[in-house]
């Protein structure tokens, strides 16, 4: 039995130390990042924040709202093939939308059907499994890369440098990082498995950048400051579920209770999701996600402004003129308290 005694950290354990800066205004901070990829020849430019491929955040209408600000969406995998064909055929070159799939044969069949009907329309895919540590997953990524040499492939999830390297070598351009930090995830509770998200981001980014690859920090951001910390820790992209949930663009039913409007938000491995898409929870597994009711948050536009405002402001505090400089200019201080909670 082995115990790693080095303390691993989460967003809540640190703050970003301010630095002397010549920047006078948030408006002079550029959040757009251009990226070249390890394998694909596609070139990306945008604000590298992605709505998660959950059916309440990775929607077509979320893609449209976020696209206006150069943010991206990883679409959920439960639309009909013809709907993807229509969506991707209309997508302009400036918008980035990831087509998501798991490694099952039904997902691959649907993907091939969409590719056949709209060749060249899809440029980004997100190959997503809960546990990116299996050999089956690595070989799937590797054969997908052989079949689609110019596709931008994001693959995950993992939380350690060794597996980040393995996925990049197998053909991924972006490795998705995070096991258990999600707002509606219960993996840590059900399995005892996980890794603090800030340390996972730092370690996986380091491994990826050494090979010329990129990472996407996925899960655990609860407020704009956490997104700034994820970028500060070395994330190239940051994926958000809960922060984008509960809006008009999230779709799903609106429930009324005591005169207030609510929207359901649930993990994609929750009982709610499995009842909806897989005819219930299979006998050999347990749900690893939960369902919550969120007060309706209206259009996502206000949340986008908050997020971009927060990250821009973080950049001015450390003197980063561009988002790219945020990592270099970040020093984290370990803290025992984040906020003054006196007024709740
Ligand atoms: P959030 O931004 O809400 O903290 O985290 C979003 C991420 O949680 C998603 O991108 C995905 O990686 C993860 N996630 C979504 N649904 C589930 C689930 O049912 N179980 C687990 N373990 N993770 C989930």
pLDDT tens column, 209-240: 999 999 999 999 999 999 999 999 999 999 99
pLDDT at 141: 98
Instruction: Please state, in angstroms and rounded to a whole number, the distance separating the CA atoms of residues 70 and 47.
Output: 6
| Interior/surface letters 226-242, b for 16+ CB within 10 angstroms, e for the rest | bbbbbbbbbbbbbbbbb
Binding-site residue ranges for NADP(+): 215-238
Residues with CB under 6 A from ligand 1: 52, 54, 130, 157, 178, 181-185, 187, 218-221, 239-242, 267-270, 288-289
pLDDT at 253: 82
Report the residue among 55, 133, 268 best suited for mutation to probe ligand 1: largest number of ligand atoms under 8 A from its CB.
268
pLDDT tens column, 138-194: 999 999 999 999 999 999 999 999 999 999 999 999 999 999 999 999 999 999 999
Contacts of 341 (CB under 8 A, 6+ apart): none
What is the predicted ipTM?
0.99
Residue 316 clears pLDDT 70, i.e. is over it: yes
Residue 196 clears pLDDT 80, i.e. is over it: yes
Residue 303 clears pLDDT 90, i.e. is over it: yes
pLDDT at 26: 80
pLDDT tens column, 203-216: 999 999 999 999 99
Domains of the chain, earliest start first: 14-254+302-334 (3.20.20.70)
pLDDT at 252: 79
- List the beta strands (DSSP E) in the chain: 14-16, 33-36, 43-46, 49-51, 72-74, 97-101, 124-128, 152-158, 174-177, 214-218, 237-240, 254-257, 260-266, 291-295, 332-334
pLDDT at 93: 66
Around Cβ 204, how many Cβ atoms within 10 Å? Answer: 32
More confident residue, 233 or 24: 233
pTM above the 0.80 mark? Answer: yes
């Amino acid at each position: 039995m082995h115990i790693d005694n080095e303390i691993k950290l989460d967003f809540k354990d640190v703050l970003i130390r301010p630095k002397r800066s010549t920047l006078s205004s948030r408006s002079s901070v550029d959040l757009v990042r251009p990226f070249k990829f390890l394998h694909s020849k596609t070139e990306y430019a945008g604000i590298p924040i992605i709505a998660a491929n959950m059916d309440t955040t990775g929607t077509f209408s979320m893609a449209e709202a976020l696209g206006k600000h150069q943010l991206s969406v990883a679409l959920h995998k439960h639309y009909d093939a013809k709907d993807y064909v229509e969506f991707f055929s209309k997508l302009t070159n400036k918008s980035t939308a990831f087509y998501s799939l798991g490694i099952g044969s039904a997902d691959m069949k649907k993907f091939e059907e969409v590719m056949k009907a709209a060749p060249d329309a899809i440029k980004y895919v997100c190959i997503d499994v809960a546990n990116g540590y299996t050999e089956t997953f690595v070989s799937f990524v590797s054969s997908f890369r052989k079949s689609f040499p110019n596709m931008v492939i994001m693959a995950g999830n993992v939380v350690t440098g060794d597996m980040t390297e393995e996925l990049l070598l197998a053909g991924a351009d972006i490795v998705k990082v995070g096991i258990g930090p999600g707002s509606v995830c219960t993996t840590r509770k059900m399995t005892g498995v996980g890794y603090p998200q800030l340390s996972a981001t730092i370690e996986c980014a380091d491994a990826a950048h050494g090979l010329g690859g990129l990472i996407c920090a996925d899960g655990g951001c609860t407020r704009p400051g956490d997104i700034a910390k994820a970028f500060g820790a070395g994330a190239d992209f940051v994926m958000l579920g809960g922060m984008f949930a509960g809006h008009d663009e999230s779709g799903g039913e609106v429930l009324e209770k005591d005169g207030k409007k609510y929207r359901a938000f649930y993990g994609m491995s929750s009982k709610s999701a499995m009842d909806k898409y897989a005819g219930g929870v299979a006998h050999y597994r347990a749900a690893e996600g939960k369902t919550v009711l969120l007060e309706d948050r209206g259009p996502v536009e206000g949340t986008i402004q908050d997020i971009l405002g927060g990250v821009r402001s973080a950049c001015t505090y450390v003197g980063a003129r561009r988002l790219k400089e945020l990592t270099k200019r970040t020093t984290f201080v370990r803290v025992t308290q984040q906020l003054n909670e006196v007024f709740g």
